[in-house]
Amino acid sequence: MRKALILPTKYVQGEDELLNLGYFVSTFGKSALLIASQEDVERVRPQLEATAEKFDVSFIEGGFNGEVTREETKRLQAVATEKQTDCIIGLGGGKAIDASKVVAEGEHLIIVPTIAAQDAPTSHSAVLYHEDGSFDDYAYFKQSPSVVLVDTKVIAKAPTRFLVAGMGDALSTYFEARATHHSYSRVNASLPMGTREGVTPPAVGTYAALALAKLCWDHLREDGLRAKIACDANVVTEALNKIVETNILLSGLGFESGGLAAAHAIHNGMTALHGAHSYLHGEKVAFATIAQLVLENADQSELEEVLDFCYSVNLPITLAELGVENITFEEAMEVAKIACIPEESIHSMPFPIIVEDVANAIIVADKIGQEYHSKH
């Protein structure tokens, strides 16, 4: 049986760590193409200027239009070629990070997340979109980023909603990895859109990845609420440190090498619910995790633990909290049909998937959340 564990070369996290960015650039050369929104650059410009001076490197600001399209990434690649930069930096949220992965193509890449809202920074994959924001394709690269650099002071000063959304994404990690482990499903390179050059063949998850995924859930229960409170106050505590590592590193390794299952597929199906479009990825994944637990008829005590955690940090447990006041069976079926297309990760669940069962699980998960709220 073929197994694989995919990892970034270096992961570094700490207060004021952005001041060391210039050192990592210097390991590749003298200059870096900086891919980030103007707003994110201005947020950390003092640190960028200080580290550039200290380590005698330069940042070439490529600009970023906010969408990971083929046209935008080709433009940025042309800038890197013209300026002869020695490495690529993706700084900011998920879109800038994914754009930098596409531009770097697996070589000399430094990722600097300024929020801890999702677990993409450590992975070797990215999502491409069309200009209108609709999905285009998945992109996979021969290796994960060379460096993932996380400044916890920067994370603590970002809106708390992003940290909480990251907890919602991390929440699903163990339950999806567990399902994939039980079904011996292939993970970390399912390649739904066809063969990708330079990508190793799919493998099943390792015990190490499953253990990391389980640690996500342990950390969330232990310190999720305390980390939220620290972020509300814009300060760094050990609880915040633990949850930042959980959201970015543990969940990133856990999902990529442990596998995805129903929760992320149901999240993808929720694109059919227009009211939910403005909500963050992790907020929708939290509700979808509850739906997965209903689908697999998880122990009541486990379901209650998840509900308690979500409620404590203000993650959605009902569709109304995601902008969908009511859902009909027909609407739930539309979500389920998208979630159950042959390429989706829901087929990593350790039992046959029936579209109507998924629709029913979504409806019941919403009712369970409503009942929970009525008691609290």
Mean pLDDT across the stretch 311-340?
Answer: 97
Rg (C-alpha) for the chain, rounded Å, is 20
194 annotated to a ligand binding site: no
In sequence order, what are the beta bridge partners of 150? 13
123 annotated to a ligand binding site: yes
The per-residue pLDDT for 56 is 98
Provide φ and ψ at 289, rounded to 5°: -65, -40
**pLDDT-above-90 percentage for the chain:** 86
Q: pLDDT band at 200, cuts 50/70/90?
A: low
The per-residue pLDDT for 191 is 44
- Which residues are marked as active site? 169, 264, 267, 281
Task: Specify the residue for token string 């410009």.
Answer: 45
354 annotated to a ligand binding site: no
Q: Which carries the bigger pLDDT value, residue 194 or residue 280?
A: 280
Task: Specify the residue for token string 């900011």.
Answer: 92
Mean pLDDT across the stretch 159-172?
Answer: 98
Please tell me the pTM assigned to this model: 0.94
The per-residue pLDDT for 188 is 63
275 annotated to a ligand binding site: no
The per-residue pLDDT for 187 is 82
The per-residue pLDDT for 232 is 98
The per-residue pLDDT for 201 is 63
Structural class in CATH, domain 10-157 = alpha beta
The per-residue pLDDT for 127 is 87
Mean pLDDT across the stretch 289-308?
Answer: 98
CATH fold of 160-375 reads Dehydroquinate synthase-like, alpha domain (1.20.1090)
Judged against a pLDDT cut of 50, whether residue 190 lies above it is answered with: no
Judged against a pLDDT cut of 60, whether residue 197 lies above it is answered with: no
Domains of the chain, by residue range, sit at 10-157, 160-375
Mean pLDDT across the stretch 220-240?
Answer: 98
Judged against a pLDDT cut of 60, whether residue 194 lies above it is answered with: no
What is the rounded distance in angstroms from the CA atom of residue 243 to the CA atom of residue 310? Answer: 14
111 annotated to a ligand binding site: no
Q: Which carries the bigger pLDDT value, residue 16 or residue 136?
A: 16
Comparing 135-144, 263-272, 287-296, the range with the smallest average pLDDT is 135-144
What is the rounded distance in angstroms from the CA atom of residue 60 to the CA atom of residue 41? Answer: 12
The three-state (H, E, C) secondary structure of the chain, written as one string:
CCECCCCCCEEEEECCHHHHHHHHHHCCCCEEEEECCHHHHHHCHHHHHHHHHHHCCEEEECCCCCCCCHHHHHHHHHHHHHHCCCEEEEEECHHHHHHHHHHHCCCCEEEEECCCCCCCCCCCEEEEECCCCCEEEEEECCCCCCEEEEEHHHHHHCCHHHHHHHHHHHHHHHHHHHHHHHHCCEECCCCCCCCCCCCCCCEECCHHHHHHHHHHHHHHHHHHHHHHHHHHCCCCCHHHHHHHHHHHHHHHHHHHHHCCCHHHHHHHHHHHCHHHCCCCHHHHHHHHHHHHHHHCCCCHHHHHHHHHHHHHHCCCCCCHHHCCCCCCHHHHHHHHHHHCCCCCHHHHCCCCCCHHHHHHHHHHHHHHHHHHHHHC
The per-residue pLDDT for 195 is 40
